[in-house]
Amino acid sequence: MKSSILLYVEDEKGDVFFMRHAFENLGAPATLQIATTGPQAIAYLAGTDMFSDRTIYPLPTVILLDINLPGCSGFDVLKWLREQPEYMHLPVIMFSSSIRPEDLQKARVLGATDYIEKPASGLDFSLVAEQLWRNWMNENPAPSSPARSTNNSGS
75-131 confidence digits (pLDDT tens): 999 999 999 999 999 999 999 998 899 999 999 999 999 999 999 888 899 999 999
Residue 103: left if φ>0, alpha if ψ -120 to 50, beta else—which one? alpha
DSSP 42: H
Q: Which of 5, 81, 10 is nearest to 46 (CA)?
A: 81
The confidence score (pLDDT) of residue 62 equals: 96
The confidence score (pLDDT) of residue 104 equals: 94
Q: Which residues of 114-143 are buried (b: 16+ CB within 10 A; e: fewer)?
A: bbbbbbeeeeebbbbbbbbbbbbbbeeeee
**In angstroms, what CA-CA distances link 131 with 57, 103, 104, 143, 151?**
24, 21, 19, 10, 12
The confidence score (pLDDT) of residue 1 equals: 46
What are the structural domains, with CATH classification, of the chain? 4-150 (3.40.50.2300)
Helix or strand run (H / E) with residue 46: helix 38-46
The confidence score (pLDDT) of residue 66 equals: 97
8 Å CB contact between 75 and 65: no
pTM of the complete model: 0.86
